[in-house]
Amino acid sequence: DRGRVVVVGGGFGGATAARFLARAGHDVTLVERDASYVTCPFSNTVLGGFARMSDITFGYDGLAAEGVQVVQGEAVGVADGTVTLASGDALPFDRLLLSPGVELRYDALPGYSEDAAQKMPHAWKGGPQTELLRSQLTNMEDGGLVVIAPPANPYRCPPGPYERASLIAHYLSAAKPASKILILDAKEAFSKQALFEEAWATLYPGMIEWIPPSGGGRVAEVDPSTMTVVTDFGRYDAAVANIIPPQRAASIAQVAGVADQTGWCPVSGLTFESDLVPGIHVIGDACMAGAMPKSAFSANAQAKVAAVAIDALLRGESATSPKLLNTCYSLAAPGYGFTVAGAYGEADGKLFEIEGAGGVSPLDAPESVRSAEADYARSWYATITTEAFA
């Protein structure tokens, strides 16, 4: 039977799910506020100066051609089986799928705000923020201090800040070699840490310094008017400050009542249906998917599981227990990549990591391994953007 499915959010999760639900024969409406989508994955290659914004920007014509009704608009309400848009339009649904991504918590760091982000960009959403950070880097004088301040877990893309430090170093080491990058971290350890530290020592000796909270690295306050970053132990005058605040599920998740007090959305690992509101499914960064990290790879994998489950439920059948994969690729330079991978199963509605099925790239690997992994990263990006947007 054809069902009416509304999908909110045309990012990696929503675009993929809309496509697979349309292919299954359902009546699918995709609501997305923007006319085009700028990916966060590979946005660090723009910051590194070896890709352009146009390389990471995608439209929705491909989805429309597959029969998805693409509506550009802002979803502002969810009640009684209907999504309301800011325009006033109402979209009734049999099942609603939310993949709205994250909202930045501007209230979480004294001195930081939406306005402050115009001077100290987070660049944690693709688009104007990416361009702002890139232009600050290109305008910076040689010898300047670039501060990167990553948040505590959980947040969108655990290895992202460290890939960013690497690719900014790639740019600076050629263009402004007297500059320094200081990572002021809110956590004691980070994803693929040993691999990043090995890459930094090999590729950019002396350029990148990482300070965890125990070393005084936790950022307590920022002042965008003076470009000062204040930590527990000191003050830094930044030429460029990339402040990445803590996050939570985007606001439509709160509006729909599917986010809990953590700010994220508890869901069934079998169907990605909300634990809080029946009939609403949540995938991607907004949901809590056990040990799966908040990545585009995860959002895309969850989209396919949720689409198959929604199709089954609309046909009056039950969902079958899924297996999901995630791989996070990171580039430390254009020809230097490495990965962390995981596999996940479901039991009693909970997702668990399958022991021994994942792992990280080896340390001390030959250059050929690093360059092959950089090629895999580019192939992965081409594949996932084709599956979501082409």
Cis peptide before 154 (omega within 30 of 0): yes
* Binding segment (CB under 6 A) for ligand FAD, from list 171-179, 270-278, 279-287, 342-350: 279-287
3-state secondary structure of 297: helix
Question: Does 224 help bind ligand FAD (rule: CB under 6 A)?
Answer: no
Q: Are 12 and 40 in contact (CB under 8 A)?
A: no
CB of 354 vs ligand FAD, minimal distance in Å: 19
The DSSP annotation for 147-165 comes to EEE--PSS-S-TTHHHHHH
Asked if 38 is part of the footprint of ligand FAD (rule: CB under 6 A), the reply reads: no
Q: Does 49 bind ligand FAD (CB under 6 A)?
A: no
Binding residue for ligand FAD, selected from 134, 248, 281, 294, defined by CB under 6 A: 294
- Contact residues for 293 (Cβ-Cβ < 8 A; gap 6+): 157, 158, 191, 326, 328, 342
Question: Which range of residues in 198-206, 220-228, 293-301, 341-349 is near ligand FAD by CB under 6 A?
Answer: 293-301
d(CA 147, CA 182): 5
| Residue span binding ligand FAD (CB under 6 A) among the ranges 131-139, 178-186, 260-268, 291-299 | 291-299
Of 74 and 275, the one with the shorter C-beta distance to ligand FAD is 74
Say whether residue 309 binds ligand FAD (CB under 6 A): no
Q: Tell me: does residue 373 bind ligand FAD (CB under 6 A).
A: no
One of 133, 169, 183, 252 touching ligand FAD (CB under 6 A): 252
Mention every residue, 6+ apart, whose C-beta is less than 8 A from residue 9.
31, 32, 98, 99, 100, 101, 250, 284
Tell the smallest beta-carbon distance from residue 163 to ligand FAD (Å).
Answer: 7
Show contacts of 73-77: CB within 8 Å, 24+ apart. 73/31, 73/32, 73/33, 74/31, 74/33, 75/8, 75/31, 75/100, 75/252, 76/252, 76/255, 77/255
Q: 34: helix, coil or strand?
A: coil
Q: Which of 279, 292, 383 is nearest to 342 (CA)?
A: 292
* Residue 158 makes contact with ligand FAD by CB under 6 A: no
- Continuous H helices in the chain: 12-23, 43-47, 61-65, 128-139, 160-175, 193-203, 251-256, 296-314, 367-389
Out of 28, 29, 30, 41, the residue judged to bind ligand FAD by CB under 6 A:
41
Of 36-44, 136-144, 210-218, 317-325: span binding ligand FAD (CB under 6 A): 36-44
The token pair at 49 is 């100066």
- CB closer to ligand FAD out of 41 and 269: 41
Nearest by Cα to 147 from 82, 99, 77, 217 = 217
User: Is 375 a binder of ligand FAD (CB under 6 A)?
Assistant: no
User: Out of 124, 190, 204, 336, which residue is the one contacting ligand FAD (CB under 6 A)?
Assistant: 124
Least CB distance to ligand FAD at residue 189 (A): 19
Return the bridge partners of 274, or none. Answer: 267
Enumerate residues 322-341 that contact ligand FAD by CB under 6 A. Answer: 328-329
Q: Please report how many Cα atoms fall inside a 13 Å half-sphere around the Cα of residue 118, on the Cβ side.
A: 3
Q: State which of residues 181, 199, 299, 314 lies at the interface with ligand FAD (CB under 6 A).
A: 299
Q: Which stretch binds ligand FAD (CB under 6 A): 8-16, 22-30, 339-347, 364-372?
A: 8-16
By the rule CB under 6 A, 40 interacts with ligand FAD: yes
Where does this chain bind ligand FAD (CB under 6 A)? Answer: 8-14, 31-34, 37, 40-41, 43-44, 74-75, 99-101, 124, 156-157, 160, 164, 250, 252, 284-286, 294-297, 299, 328-329
